[in-house]
Amino acid sequence: MNIELKNIHKHFGKVHANKNINLAIPSGTIQGILGENGAGKSTLMKILSGFIQADAGGEIILDGKPVIIHSPADAIHHGVGMLHQDPLDFPPMRVLDNFLLGRSGGLFPNRTTVARDFKLLAEQFDFSLDPDSYVDSLTVGERQQLEIIRLLWLGARILILDEPTTGISASQKTKLFATLKKLAEQGMTIIFVSHKLEDVEHLCHQAAVLRAGELVGEIKTPYVTSKLVEMMFGKEITLGERQPAQAGEVVLSFTNISLEDVRLKIKNVDLQVRAGEVIGLAGMEGSGQGMFIRACAGLTRPVGGRVQLNGQDLTGKSYHTYKHAGVNFLPAARLEEGLVPGLNLTDHFVLAEEPKGVFIDRAAGQKLAEDRIQSFNIRGTPLSTVESLSGGNQQRAELALLQSPLSLVLLEHPTRGLDIESVIYIWGKLKERCRQGASIIFISSDLEEILQYSDRLLVFFSGKVSQPIDAAATSVEELGQLIGGKGWANMGDEHA
Amino acid sequence: MLKGRGGGFLFQLIALLLAFGFVSLILLSVNASPVDAYKNMFTGSFGSMRKFAEVLVAFVPLLLVTAGLLVTFSSGLWNIGVEGQVVLGAIATTWVFRYFLESSLHPAVIITLAILGGMIGGAIWASFTGLLKVFGGVNEIFGGLGLNFVSTALTIYLIFGPWKRPGVASMSGTVPFPAEFSLSQLAELRISPWALGIALVGIVIVYFILQGTYFGLRLKAVGKNFRAAYLLGIPTWQYSMYSFLICGALAGAAGAMQVAAVYHRLIPSISSGYGYLGLMVAMLINYKAVFAIPVALFFAALNIGSIQLPILMKLDSSLSGVLQGVLVLFVLLAEGARQKFSKKA
């Protein structure tokens, strides 16, 4: 099926997530969509698959006919099926029941016919799926296979895959690619959204690169990797004056740490963080850095290895033990994890302090809040509820909650979505902590920020962790390649 | 902010009028005069000192239950099991009284022990719901509801089994306790000033816990954002358990009052539905302790005032329940409407 997207715009409030996107994908093509986090890939795909609607004026044309897609169900009706990064299936149900869901019409499904269809489709692509097993017993790769044949069965002629190679095994990936190529030969249109350069280079006939909501370029095979990286991350990088750390004693020490969740395995990481040092964690979202920083906070228990903080063994201890030992973690989801909506700033500052007695001294709390509001330059009053603050001010409020003294500050996307003034301010405050002897580990998808503020950095790719890289000795280009999964072969020797 | 609160009051007033209007329509549909009905309910509850004393008798357990529920609601828990916690409070109180039937201890000591026993009984029963929630992953609504049924069955078993009256067991309950086991009552009236005092102390304590203590603030943080509270260093599941224990103790005290000050024995419907009614009061006051006393009194008055309706007007006394239920629904509806309006403004 031919796809044409014309003048697609999408605003979320002030954010312009898609800016005038025009893209044509002929039938039988495997189209790669590349871009870093927040580039607008998902927004564009959600528009095509009916999850959200584009701003007025945009057009989606399928096989020459303009269509308006109201919902995902509508999309599948038009032949557009989307495979999400986290499969949208129903884990407590059987494979066949999942397969059936989404099929309209008929009060009582004819299970025998459906089972036959299922078997035929699975055989066609050489998938070994047991229709009677439960979905939660399946691997991510198998759930993906289930989703693919389900969408095909529902009549999809366009298949959108969002980061499909994350969390699946090498053999499943080979099978997936073979399946996609076969489908393309049959005239299906495949849209492959990824940040993995290698996958796109292997699989896609052509690729489109998005950056900051705009379509910055289209390339056909063969690709020049450096060109892709340049398009994805931009070129003009202006680094200010870096402030190297006066490294002190070892604060945090990871020995042979292994971590695991359903998607990723991180194996045998060794890391020593010194007082005053800033470590940046780079990588596409979901590459393992989130799990890693939570392990530093004691929120994720390592499946192997030892954690030491200031010489004290904290392996397997709870988050609250880590907190008492001087580790603070500021999560990215401010209103979901960091702050308590409904409570005001005074409440938050009082909560973060050690209780003195049973009753709260209101006057002292008020005073504390006024002091913090002033010293952290928060635009709000002691009685402002946190949800009434702007994002930047919520971030400042989170920073103002950090206890004192601290050994280790862990931050997820400390400046995401903030204006430049807030960014500089927040890093000023953080560097102050470093001078007082705290170490900082932070996640950011902004490579400039990582290069600017970290002393050393780790790159994550599909659960692989690089050796610590000296931030002064690397470049956006090199990082971009590593983040996209390139140049890992010689990593081990270079930095060992 | 003041404007928001004033606006909220206006919406609640509208809700109150709508509720009375709606119930009036129901009354008109059965050819009964709404004015007469409301008038009878008013005189039935405030018409004489005796009647007002009856209102207070209902007010005591209702206020205690509401006080407890304010704690669980603050920590984000739907303690529907409060009904069973009242029952277990009553059972535990009865057990203590029976244990000391032959004792030579001063009755005041025995009564104190019995009330404490009731509070402990309610707290233990609440802890079951809490443990199921924290360690078993059972939603507190399901756990609590299940335990409510168990508590009813337990009461019936005790009344018809181990604690049955000599000779023949009966639905009228266990053998009444001797007069000295009663909380002293006002002359000619059924209300015990002690029971009233305990209930008022209960709500005042809860008010101060929630308004002015670190404990209360932490409870609220847990209730409003469990995850963030954990990350802020609050031992979250422990706080959930504490709030169950406190609510259970207060509900248990309500059960103890039913035994020690009202029925002087264990009867099958000892909780009289005050647990569920307390849930409605808590929702109606939007979980704010300051309004608990007037609203609980109002609900108690509706309950008592409607008792005379079957005789006077051939209306069922469950009319009070209809009015209470409709009122809660309209208030919740008004709250939703208010939020929608304030968002647009």
A329, A339, A358: residue with CB nearest B213: A358
Beta carbons within 8 Å of A151's beta carbon, 6+ residues apart: A76, A81, A82, A83, A159
Shortest distance, CA A338 to any CA of chain B (angstroms): 5
pLDDT at B159 over 60: yes
Question: A235 exposed, middle or buried (CB, 10 Å; 0-12, 13-18, 19+)?
Answer: exposed
pLDDT of amino acid B10: 81
Tell me which of A206, A233, A260 is where a domain ends. Answer: A233
Residue from A321, A324, A340, A404 to probe the interface with B (highest B Cβ count within 10 Å)? A340
Residue B321 has pLDDT above 90, yes or no: no
DSSP three-state, residue A413: coil
Encode pLDDT of A180-208 as tens digits.
999 999 999 999 998 778 888 889 999 99
What is the rounded distance in angstroms from the CA atom of residue A330 to the CA atom of residue A413? 9
Q: Is residue B209 part of a domain?
A: yes
**A487 within domain boundaries:** yes
Q: Comparing C-alpha atoms, which of B114, B109, B122, B118 is closest to residue B97? A: B114
Contact at 8 Å (CB) between A414 and A444? yes
Q: Searching chain B, which residue's CA lies closest to the CA of residue A339?
A: B228
Q: How many domains does chain A have?
A: 2
Q: What mean pLDDT, rounded, does chain A reach?
A: 86
Residue in A320, A351, A383 closest to B235 by CB: A320
Shortest Cα distance from B298 to chain A (angstroms)? 29
Whether A364 maps to a domain, the answer reads yes
Tell me the pLDDT tens digit for each residue of A279-338. Answer: 999 988 778 899 999 999 999 999 999 999 988 999 989 999 999 999 999 998 888 889
Is B217 in contact with A341 (Cβ distance < 8 A)?
A: no
pLDDT at B260 over 80: yes
* Residue A495 token pair: 């930095």
| B110 domain-assigned | yes
Residue B87 falls inside a structural domain: yes
Cα dihedral A468→A472→A474→A475 (10° resolution): 130
Same domain, A294 and A429: yes
Domain count, chain B: 1
Report yes or no: B237 at the A interface, CB cutoff 8 Å. no
Tokens 């030579």 sit at which residue? B104
Residue pLDDT, tens place only, B192-213: 999 999 999 999 999 999 998 9
pLDDT on residue A239: 43
Give the pLDDT of residue A235.
54
Contacts of A320 in chain B (CB under 8 A): 233, 235
CATH of the domain at A216: 3.40.50.300
Residues A273 and A204 in one domain: no
pLDDT tops 50 at residue A59: yes
Per the domain annotation, does B278 fall within a domain?
yes
In a domain, A238, yes or no: no
Task: Band the pLDDT of A98: cuts 50, 70, 90.
Answer: confident
d(CA A468, CA A289) in angstroms, rounded, equals 13
Residue with token string 């807030």: A422
Distance of CA A422 to the CA centre of its chain: 23
Look over chain B and give the mean of its residue pLDDT values, rounded to a whole number.
90
Which of A222, A129, A162, A146 is closest to A35 using CA atoms? A162
Q: What is the mean pLDDT of residues A10-36?
A: 88
> Rounded mean pLDDT of B161-166?
89
- The answer on pLDDT for A490 being more than 70 is no
The parent domain of residue A277 ranges over 250-495
How many residues are there in chain A?
496
Cα dihedral angle (A230, A235, A238, A242), rounded to 10 degrees?
10
Task: Check residue A246 and give its pLDDT.
Answer: 65
Whether B199 is in a domain gets the answer yes
**Contact between B231 and A337 using a beta-carbon 8 Å cutoff:** yes
Q: Residue B268: which pLDDT band, with cuts at 50, 70 and 90?
A: very high
Boundary (domain end) residue, out of A174, A201, A233: A233
Domain of B159, in residue numbers: 55-165+173-283
First vs last C-alpha separation in chain A = 50
For residues B158 and B91, is the Cβ–Cβ distance under 8 A? yes
Confirm whether B25 is domain-assigned: no
Closest of B261, B268, B262, B247 to residue B125, by C-alpha: B247
**What pLDDT, on a 0 to 100 scale, did the predictor assign at position B194?**
93
Convert B322-341 to b/e letters by CB count within 10 Å (16 or more is b).
Answer: bbbebbbbbbeebbeebeee
pLDDT above 80: residue B120: yes
Cross-chain Cβ contact A323/B212 below 8 Å: no
Number of neighbouring beta carbons within 10 Å of residue A84: 19
Residue ending a domain, choose from A233, A265, A300: A233
Q: Which of B1, B208, B217, B342 to mutate to test the interface with A (most CBs of A within 10 A)?
A: B217
Binned at pLDDT 50, 70 and 90, residue A494 comes out as very low
Q: Are A374 and A259 found together in one domain?
A: yes
Report residue B343's pLDDT band, with 50, 70 and 90 as the boundaries. Answer: low
**Would strands A80-83 and A158-162 be described as parallel, antiparallel, or unpaired?**
parallel
What are the backbone angles phi and psi of residue A85, rounded to the nearest 5°?
A: -60, -50
- Selected for mutation to probe chain A from B1, B225, B238 (highest A CB count within 10 Å) is B225
Spell out the long-range contacts of A318-321 with Cβ–Cβ below 8 A and sequence spacing 24 or more: A319/B230, A319/B231, A320/B233, A320/B235
- Span A409-435, average pLDDT: 84
Which among B128, B129, B120 has a CA at the least distance from the CA of B250?
B120
